[in-house]
Amino acid sequence: MSEQAAAPDPPIPWLGLAGVLLGTFISTLNGRLSTFGLADIRGAVHAGFDDGAWITTAQTMAQMLIAPVAIWVGGIYGPRRVLMDAAAVFAVISALIPLSTGLPMLLALQFVGGLASGCFVPLTLGYLLRNLPPRFWTFGVALYALNLELSLNISASLEGWYVDNFSWVWIFWQNVPLALGMALCLHFGAPQDQAHPKPPPADLFGLATCGLGLALIYAALDQGNRLDWLNSGLVCGLLGAGVILLAAFLIHERRAAHPFVNLKVLFSPPLPRLLVLIAFLRLTILSTAYLIPQFLGAVRGFRALQVGQTLVWIAAPQLIFCPLAALMLRRSDPRLVSSIGFIFVSIACLMVAHGLTGLWTSDQFLPSQLLQAIGQSFALSGILFFAVLHLRPEDALTFGAAVQTARLMGGEIGTAFVATLVRVRTQTASAQIGQHLRIGDGGVTQRLAALAAGPARGPDPAGSLRRAVGILIGTVRAAAALQGVIDAFVVIGGLTALALLIVVTHKPAPLGPASARPLFGGRKAPA
């Protein structure tokens, strides 16, 4: 009798988990790094402000476009294969992007890279829910939230460090070892995919209309503030086409024999409400991540590395508070955990709005940012787990796609809303301050004379006066920008309080996952 072949080594579960979570980390980090390093990237390819604004839009448009396809392909062939292939493509594209010879080539590579990285987040939650025992789902959800927040808030520090010590090219080249490490973790740690024995016919119309509709709406939101929203024909065209495509998608999915998205899952309570909360939370998180750099850059003149020293205080505590959130989710109502989070975020925003002055630096933001770090961990973990409690395992991929859409769209709506709010409030404050600065006014004349004799002093009296005028204009701009940021923090604090009201008025979640209902504390739910 011949000797039997040795059985292949079993996968290492924690290694597969690390691989999918690394994909979430890479996707968010790459987008944020591109945003913070946009000026350096534009300069490298000799792109102007308007043309260069599409560099980050191209990547995230592709992520929105590919999300439905990633879910469908993942359901047919399994997430392991899709994620490994996407990671390999992303590594190659990241290596090539810094070699771009011009803006068109850079935009094309950014788009292809977005298609690859767009597969990471939608398949992560599905992998976690399918491969982790239910008693460990709280920790999986908390780690998922940790990855999103960590990558979101360390980006400024990394970008500044790369530019100061190496080159802007490392904004992209750092993704090569990360993506290859992700592929290796999945290869050795994820179980082999079981391909669908009889896959249903591809719903090409649904995949195309859903992906294109989301991508066009996202592009309109991303470019709206720059192009003055509905006063731009491009923005109106993108929004109109996106809405029409999404409407066609929903009508088609209701009538299709083999729809790729289960609309009953998406529109059955409480998932729509919870997805709105996820989008709402991303609005508050990304908005505050925008406001602090806006203040430190426009008012204080800080560079990216100095801005990162503030944002890192949101990232670092996540390593402690995310596991704490997981432990609380095992022993208490997810609504309580998320409510604590929203309360902390709202208080943090109001703390900044109440105390912010033009003299604040990184140290003054520390108390509020530590409070916000706790709030973000608790709020996102609580909402995600509350949604998971209503799911069946077979709906995990649909849920992953919905979370990706809510995450990206909510963040983009939040950033667009706050950027427009800050711009309008800054312009209003500048106009109001300008009403008190008139040529010939005694106070203005005295201030200009003091500046000309002090900071603006030079050998030429006329030149000193011109420099004094420039300093005064800069002071007015800084004061107006400060007022715009304060107003935005007030609005975000109020919106977070509204999200808290939505959470506390929601009915309790089921005792466990919707198909097999063991409680996460070890008890068994009623059949």
Paired residues of 518 in beta bridges: 524
Among 44, 53, 33, residue whose Cα is nearest residue 173: 33
Query: Would you say 373 and 313 are in contact if contact means Cβ atoms under 8 Å apart?
Result: yes
Q: 520 falls in which pLDDT band (50, 70, 90)?
A: very low
Q: Which of 236, 259, 282 is the last residue of a domain?
A: 259
265 lies in a domain? Answer: no
CATH number for position 402: 1.20.1250.20
Q: What's the pLDDT score for residue 212?
A: 95
452 lies in a domain? Answer: yes
Q: What is the DSSP letter of 229?
A: G
Q: What's the pLDDT score for residue 521?
A: 34
Domain, as residue range, for 468: 270-436+444-527
Residue 193 and residue 207 in one domain: no
Which helix (H) or strand (E) segment holds residue 178: the answer is helix 175-189
Q: What's the pLDDT score for residue 324?
A: 87
Token representation of residue 460: 């030429």
Residue 383 and residue 524 in one domain: yes
Residue 178 and residue 227 in one domain: no
Residue 240 and residue 292 in one domain: no
- pLDDT of 474 above 50: yes
Q: How far apart are CA 315 and CA 146, in angstroms?
A: 9
Among 289, 343, 354, 297, residue whose Cα is nearest residue 148: 289
Q: How far is CA 18 from CA 85, 147, 177, 254, 316, in A?
A: 17, 11, 14, 37, 19
472 lies in a domain? Answer: yes
Is residue 437 helix, strand or coil? coil
Q: How far apart are CA 258 and CA 40, in angstroms?
A: 47
Residue 250 and residue 320 in one domain: no
Of residues 168 and 107, more confidently modeled: 107
Q: What's the pLDDT score for residue 54?
A: 92
Number of structural domains in the chain: 3
**190-204, 323-337, 344-358, 364-378: range with lowest mean pLDDT:** 190-204
Q: What is the largest CA-CA distance in the chain?
A: 108
16 lies in a domain? Answer: yes
Instruction: Give the pLDDT confidence of 235-265 residue by residue, as tens digits.
Output: 999 999 999 999 999 999 888 877 777 777 7
252 lies in a domain? Answer: yes
- pLDDT of 114 above 60: yes
CA dihedral 475, 481, 482, 487 (to 10 degrees): 150
Q: What's the pLDDT score for residue 196?
A: 62
Of residues 250 and 155, more confidently modeled: 250
Mean pLDDT calculated for residue range 158-166: 78
**239-248, 300-309, 361-370: range with lowest mean pLDDT:** 300-309
Q: What's the pLDDT score for residue 440?
A: 59
**pTM of the predicted protein model:** 0.82
Which helix (H) or strand (E) segment holds residue 388: the answer is helix 362-388
Residue 208 and residue 131 in one domain: no
